[in-house]
Structure 1
Amino acid sequence: MRWRWAIFAGLVLGIGLSWWVSRDSPEQAQARRQRAEQAAAANAEDARPVLYRWRDADGMLQVTAQPPSGKDAGRKYERIDQQPRAGIEVHGNPD
């Protein structure tokens, strides 16, 4: 009968020791949380609907749902939010 208790105690001790060794330190847990928050923010930024504004080889302004590709690949483009941010934004020349 005693050997059953010894096996049980050994299993409990082994499980407890493996948990203790594999757990994250507070610094590791904080770093993991920060990485998760940064990844979530990046995903949210990429998920926002945008348009792309650029000029083709003839100088014509193009506004498309995809960045320039094909013969226009490599051209500079600007990302434009399809849904404007809350508040007032004024852009332009003071003239």
Structure 2
Amino acid sequence: MRLAWAICAGLLLGIGVAWWLSREAPGKTEARQRRAEQAAAAQARDARPSLYRWRDDAGVLQITDKPPPDRPFQRIDREPDRAIKVKGDSAD
């Protein structure tokens, strides 16, 4: 009978330790939520069409849809044209 109680106590203790070690700390959950919100905001920002303004070697102003790899540029965010009706858009 003592052996059965010892086995039950060992199992309960093992389950308790496993649960304790597998749970997340409260701060970790909040940090993960913050990272998810930041990623969603960055994705929404990147989903908007953008243009890039920069100057070439001759000093001529260039405006392109891709940033230059080797020189400073300014990002110009544009709003999509709202005159175009998108299927499922309920802006009526």
TM-score (norm 2): 0.59
Residue 43 of structure 1: CA displacement?
2.7
Partner of 1:57: 57
Residue 18 of structure 1: CA displacement?
1.0
Identity %: 58
Deviations 1:3-40 (A, max 9, x none): 89x86875565344312221112222212212222222
CA RMSD of aligned residues (A): 2.8
Change (3 A) 1:7 1:44: farther
Query: Is residue 2:73 matched to residue 1:77?
Result: yes
Q: Where do 5+ consecutive residues of structure 2 fail to align?
A: 81-92
Deviations 1:37-75 (A, max 9, x none): 222222322332211011212222211011124xxx22x
Return the alpha-carbon distance in structure 2 between the equivalents of residues 39 and 68 of structure 1.
Answer: 24
TM-score (norm 1): 0.58
Aligned residues: 80
| Runs (4+) off by over 4 Å | 6-13
Partner of 1:88: none
